[in-house]
A and B are shown apart, each in its own frame.
Chain A
Amino acid sequence: MEAVNRKWYSGMLSTEDWWAVWLGLTMFVAGLFSIVGVDLVGWMAKPGTWVTADKMLKVTGYDMNPWAALLVTYIIFTCLTCIGAYFMKLDVKKFFYGFTIIFAITWACWLIGHNAYLAAVPNEWDKYGITWGLALGGGASYMLALAVGLIIGNFFKGFAKFLHEAAKPEWFIKTAIVFLGIKVGLMSMEAASYTFELAVAGAAATFVAYMLFWPIVYSLGRKTFKLPRQWAAVLASGISICGVSAAVATGGAIRSKPIIPVLVSMLIVVFAMIELIILPGLYTATLDHEPIVAGAAMGMTVKTDGADAAAGAILDELMRSKAALRGVHWQEGWILTSAVMTKIWIDMFIGVWAFVLALIWVYKVERQPGQSHVGASEIWFRFPKFVLGYLLTWFVYLGIAVFGPDLVEAASHGAKIVQSPMRKMFFMLTFVSIGVITDFSKLRGMGRMALIYAIALFLIIAPIALIVAYIFHHGMMPLPA
């Protein structure tokens, strides 16, 4: 069946982007019921830090058996995602089986990663009766999930193919980002001016960085590597803006053959994984005195929303665990938010950028008689819709704090369940899925393109992102826990 974006509401029921909004808002609204004293989300299971197996699983609200809560969690999210899969015209039966397996792997990794020897930080060791540990915080679960996903994606390719229908890292992470909006809203309740400062600094840094990234990478492609104009433009956008979505948007804007953004996207997905593996550890080792700078730089460097938010989440855990070793305790989420904030600005920027490129291409570069027109609706079609969910959840909780301070405590009850265990579960689903769909062997045969990508990423994008992030964010620190 054809899929043409013709009306402003096209794709509302058929795209992952919109389904991230629907899924996110469903739980957001359910969480809001705590304001009237009704707990609609207390069935959510969550892992506990454990030494003995009886402590590994907890229930967030209801008084029920934790394993029963996990079953309810599975049933509810399987139903919701299968409804989404149905409307997105995925193979629902394959999606159901795939999601069930990914859900099981996700929870196994999440629970194992919360073993006290892996996760507990030194000031908690006495509490768990242990004398040593890796002190990785929640990062242990994330890294384990990523490793398992990558092993499946690269060594069990038949199995990975079976899971592909349900391995949707972008859908999962966009849903998690809508949930993150609730967290940012709660954080705004505590520190409105700091959150605002973080948002403005992120916007400014993003604008400056992208005015530099694109022309430099485009020139590198054209002048040094002699790439055709269309290849250079698509590659420049993919590397320097927001990965696959930028490559596709640019390919469309300049009317390139679809095969160009498709091939570039294969490269982007693999490199995003390389960035995800390398950068959190590197920044934790070298930038632990500037955690917000590291987060913002991450947001500008790592391509694709899934890889960026995943890298931000690992960075948040590793940075806080390292700080805890020094006796410094930061609130969870500020470093992650700085990474996601810059990324969201970039995502919003791509629609406008693609529109500008389309105007340049149609009216200048490939000007022809019988002129074709570029509709402003193209900006809307390329606008990342999950951002609407993120902003809505953020501003609703900010609004509660401003206009109904008496409701804050009741609102926080439901919000905390949605923004913490639910959000983290979707991060975990993202880690497993992103590993499953990443096949490093796809780099074979892409020698020159891979070389340009590596040079641009590590010698241009990463250093500039770091400098710009430092200029706009230095001195900003996560709030103390």
Chain B
Amino acid sequence: MKADMELVIVHDGEQWIASNDSLKASGCTLPELDENLKQVIIKSGVFKPGTKITVFMGFDYSTIPTWIRQYAAHYFNRYVSIEL
């Protein structure tokens, strides 16, 4: 699936954090993260208000403890539709 924006997502023990080189958003739950991300994107001015964009979030598996990586190599990726 094609995305208008690609972010890396991690969990720091308290909140989900999605970021790329130019923006960063966080939230205790994924819906909260998505809402905060929407505000950050609007503020950045990269997309026009009213635009509907698809955001790809790929979980950074390097944040999973090393000993578990031999059992599984993927946590999740998600695509979120956001109307700005």
Contacts and interface: CB of A to CB of B under 8 A. Distances in A.
Contacts of B68: 244, 248, 261-262, 265
Contacts of A251: 75
A446 B19 CA distance: 34
Interface string A141-170: 000000000000000000000001000111
B8 interface: yes
Contact of A245 (B56, B71, B77): B71
Contacts, number: 114
Interface residues of A, number: 46
B34 A3 contact: no
Chain B at the A interface: SS class: mixed
B62 A248 contact: no
B76 A253 contact: yes
Contacts of B83: 370
Nearest to B30: A255
Interface residues of B, number: 36
A5 B64 contact: no
Given A3-B61, A4-B59, 11 more contacts: A6-B56, A164-B67, A171-B70, A248-B72, A251-B75, A252-B59, A255-B76, A257-B11, A259-B11, A358-B76, A372-B34
A245 B75 CA distance: 10
Contact of B74 (A1, A5, A16, A371): A5
Interface in A350-390: 358, 366, 368, 370-375, 377-378, 381-382
A94 B78 CA distance: 35
A16 B67 CA distance: 11
Interface string B3-26: 000101001010000000000000
B70 A168 contact: yes
Contact of A373 (B6, B58, B64, B78): B78
A249 B71 CA distance: 10
Most buried by A among B8, B67, B72: B72
